[in-house]
Amino acid sequence: MPTLKDRITEDMKTAMRAKDAARLSTIRMLLAACKQREVDERIVLDDAAVIGLVDKLIKQRKDSIVAFQQGARMDLADKEAAEVKVLEAYLPQRLTAEEIASEIAALVAEVGAAGPGDMGKMMSAAKSRLAGKADMGLVSAAVKQALSSK
């Protein structure tokens, strides 16, 4: 079974053949980030690590979009938004807000969290369980909600 990195490489070849410059540049940037991490840490990235990297790149793009919109640079914001769309194709199906809430409720019981002071412990457990499956911003909000009702 091909890995996520294999799929990304194949998509790069397809984008080259189709002469889709915007998609090609985004995919090359993703592969370069993968290679950089592999060289820096002397590891071979598995699918979970690639998904984590894609998540990180999407978060960076979303932060850039906000900054460009505030600076009235819609051309750059649109370019970043297009990159986000390409990158999102490599993420697994995301959990809905209800699914996140139920996962967090189960984690609260498992960890034995008693209130807002357990935020760090909860986020650590939530990150290990939900990384790549859910937007961590939504997870953080769900954890805050669950702990504030304790």
Rounded CA-CA distance 4/91 in Å is 10
Domain tally, the chain: 2
CA distance 55 to 91: 8
Residues forming a β-bridge with 134: 131
At residue 98, does pLDDT exceed 70? yes
Are residues 65 and 104 located together in one domain of the fold? no
DSSP-derived secondary structure for 22-61: HHHHHHHHHHHHHHHHHHHHT----HHHHHHHHHHHHHHH
Confidence of residue 114 (pLDDT cuts 50, 70, 90): confident
% of the chain surpassing 70 pLDDT: 97
What CA–CA distance (Å, rounded) separates 82 from 3?
A: 24
**Closest C-alpha to 60, from 24, 30, 38, 15:** 30
**Can you give the pLDDT at residue 129?**
78
Shared domain check, 112 and 68:
no
Among 16-25, 72-81, 99-108, 116-125, whose mean pLDDT is lowest? 116-125
54: domain range? 4-88
pLDDT of 1 > 80? The answer is no
Mean pLDDT of 99-117: 78
Q: Are residues 81 and 16 in the same domain?
A: yes
Predicted structure pTM score: 0.74
Whole-number average pLDDT of the chain = 87
The domain that holds 118 is classified in CATH as: 1.10.10.410
Q: What token pair was written down for 57? A: 């790149």
Same domain, 70 and 30: yes
- For the stretch 3-47, pLDDT in tens is 889 999 999 999 999 999 999 999 999 999 999 999 999 998 888
Query: In this predicted structure, what is the pLDDT of residue 150?
Result: 61
Cα dihedral angle (14, 16, 19, 22), rounded to 10 degrees? 90
My answer on whether 60 and 108 are in the same domain is no
Residues 11 and 42 in one domain: yes
